[in-house]
A and B are shown apart, each in its own frame.
Chain A
């Protein structure tokens, strides 16, 4: 123990996240943790498990499944659920399409990202979840930079950025009426670099696609997209094999890989520390659509 009673930035961030997660467990009746298999949700789950050790995680996890997955991510999801003895709820975009609740986008650039909002809100309603943990970080995107840790959603799941509750000290206000819920972001103050440093320090398990591997990819909109059954090549697009890794994991049809040889969390920390592009700018087609893309989706009830 340090004599100076100092905590490192990672210890401080972890303590803050644990405090938030415990507050939710104590004050809400039916929390759920969004677990996509992506690195942020992997870190959030890791911290949540620590918050209640040696007891088990006292709430289920939920995956909003676009159906356009990387098989490595689904395999990872199921493995973590089994290892930690979790209860998994799957909200399926395919089911929502089949039920006619949402309409599949068409064209070569079609993605199911935006379609996730409906099954997400349906599942929240069906399971009567009153608190939903998300792995969002304020450094990801400008609209997120303003969102509270406890983010109130009305009975339609909507976020009103102009009318947020003041949030002071570590006194979180989760009071809500029936049908309303709170989105909770325990990793609000983490940056991408913090996430990778934490993964390295804690040896948080991740899907293999986060580490450098050979993959058949093609270039579109300045990103390397994976060849897959869900995407149609446009004229002039050509598949090549490259050493790549993913910085984020989303709908496989619009999530780009970056060229990299980093095969361990430590090597990724080193790469991240000098990278000159944000992870969304580099690899997420959905955020490039418009500068206000994220804000509009968040208002509708997106993550």
Chain B
């Protein structure tokens, strides 16, 4: 039941309710009058959609081409996949039987085009349309089989065109003029005259390998060996094309229909099964929500969702290269466990803004850049602090001269008396990056009586930019 056009209307019915003569779209008051004992529940579109998604996940085992058509249609392109499941008829029967066993009321059909299949699923449940027979099959179906919008359907009904066949007899030009080309296209595909490929909900991987288990498996050991052997299968295919994977996805299809997908990424193309298995082990170990085998997995699939050409590495005895590879593997492992954003490398960045100059980026994404590190001058004490606060902290500072360094300041409730100070080093903010002009910063390097060294700045030039400038502590030196 859902609210529609200011009235509570029935949005879905079970079999019994249909048998009793209720219909979708009927006002609730109306239905209650017919059946006072009617039980209604509020419609939950979000949950419905989620459920449909999960069924689609489960359907992934039959073909990678699965498309959603909310609220309740799933389209599978099984071209070239049917023979793996014993032919089209057996495939359709097994999908329908399994879903029914799980308690879903489901209708299905298989045809040469998605629209024809959809129409048949609605009115000819369980049908497998022979190739080329789409026209004969769909022609007698009521016009609703085209799943057009209610206004168009109503218009056809008013015009006396009650079946697909009757509509199909009208001139195309006439129909286009009245209902638009999209409607004509839908009609043509339903008749099997043209074809429109479905757009799969997940990108179809370039490589994938899978293993079916007649008896669901649950032990870690079997999962691990399966991943290794799948990775070996992938590696063979990859090697032929000279490619390596950058992103891999393992899909675990549980016997009860739930599907878990886990992805790992690598910093450089790889196809080493042992490495791939290890990365997955790191990832699985670190999952907050561990992989729950339930009653076991009956299908495990490994697919390469991103690949890249890799330089053919002959067995090289170059120690440097080997070390580099070892480091990359370590980075991949740590990234798989903690997340790529937690394993960082420093990259030089062309900016004079202190907080942006030494940017730490995910180590897996590190590439050669043209920028280099600013060279330090010989015999010069560090000009930049070793530890930089993410957000400069405001301090209370007392300076003797307005433009000079502070004599004394309080930071985190501790008083520091300045003994030595150097500065100012004036750093203007990058005005082209900010809408509101940022005040210029005058940085000072100061040392207190205990030898602690700080990097402070006065925010804004005295009088010219701000009235009474505030002081901030931005970092600490060794």
A binds B: no
